[in-house]
Amino acid sequence: MNDSTRDVVRRLAAFGALTRATGFDDVVVIDGDEITHDDGGGNWIRLRKDGDRLTVWGFDRDDCDSEVDRTVLATHFGPHSEYGTGTNHVCFLGEEVPANDPARPRPVVENWQSDETAELELADWFEQYLVDAGSDEEIDRELLKAIVNNPFSPANGLRQLVNDVDATKTPNVETFLAEMWRWLGAESIT
């Protein structure tokens, strides 16, 4: 697995830990050799390990007519495009809006390509959670940055954030992070 893929998994681990802390266990799911992030709006990213091969799929439905069937899209764009080096292949279903259109929203895959965009995703999620909870609490951007940088570190403030939100979620968050760490092929969380 290359470093950029590890970075995507690290960012998804941070987001999955935060969504679990706020009571949503189904936004980032790990199931055996597969990690899936589904935003609930038809956008998703899926990473699957098969031996030393890693396949990544992503789909952004924001720009597609909701009545359009995925098989129609696959017929129009082809089943997928593949590129990669060595054992890292990436498959991405096409979009209707041209990639150079500045008005197009970022596909879900792009949201995890940098720490900065991942931090924005975490901030957006947590801000909406606070609004829904009726809280006027401020978001600590440095805390979110530390969580994205290393969600597995006990020193990043994630555990304190989970305790502040809902301490009963701590075991669920810890189990999720341990599963993500194992998926990355590491022996134990540092």
Angle at which helices 141-149 and 3-21 cross, to 10°:
130
Structural domains of the chain, count: 1
pLDDT tens digits, 33-78? 889 888 777 677 788 887 766 666 666 554 443 333 344 334 333 3
Q: Does residue 46 fall inside a structural domain?
A: yes
Q: Is residue 188 part of a domain?
A: no
Tell me which of 56 and 158 has the higher pLDDT. 158
Would you say residue 189 lies in a domain?
no
Structural domain that includes position 165: 3-183
5 pLDDT exceeds 80? no
Task: Tell me, yes or no, whether 158 lies in a domain.
Answer: yes
Residue 121 lies in a domain: yes
